[in-house]
Structure 1
Amino acid sequence: MDRAEEKFRIAYEWGSKSRRKIELKSGYKIPDALLNAVARIHMDQVPKEARAMWWEIVSENDPDLVTAFVAHVTAAQEEDTL
């Protein structure tokens, strides 16, 4: 897990520098590389502990991103249930 944490920190650092941004429904603009990382971390074969570690790193560096992403997912889930 120590090695995973190092890799996640590097992935976050590089991903956050991405110039291309994708706008979430909330209006928050997320670097596309970070959005891709989020998609990969939520693949079925990724352990829950690794997901938690990723989100801990993101929340340390950009708590607004976590808030925006949670709002985005919540809105998407509400649309699916309508």
Structure 2
Amino acid sequence: MTPKTSRRGPSADGRRGGSARVLTLRRIVALVLVVLALVLIFQNTEETEIRLLIRVVTMPLWGALLGMGVIGALIGALLVARRRR
């Protein structure tokens, strides 16, 4: 049997608890926003026309919403990566 260790004191890296917290406020907010975005996407399934520069494309609205969400996430990731430098 392995001895049980106390998780109350600070660990070697200085954090209390010894392991990373699974549910932080930031992760909970991100999860709620993802769920809200998915609800918005999957409740808008009708066809829509979208103008891409000159060409008009007909596609499901959920596809356009999902595409814009992905583009927004990529832009956000790029901005966070630039800020960390």
- TM normalised by structure 2 equals 0.38
Instruction: For CA contacts below 8 A with separation 6 or more, give which structure has more relative contact order.
Output: 1
Higher strand fraction: Structure 1 or Structure 2?
Answer: 2
Higher helix fraction: Structure 1 or Structure 2?
Answer: 1
- TM normalised by structure 1 equals 0.39
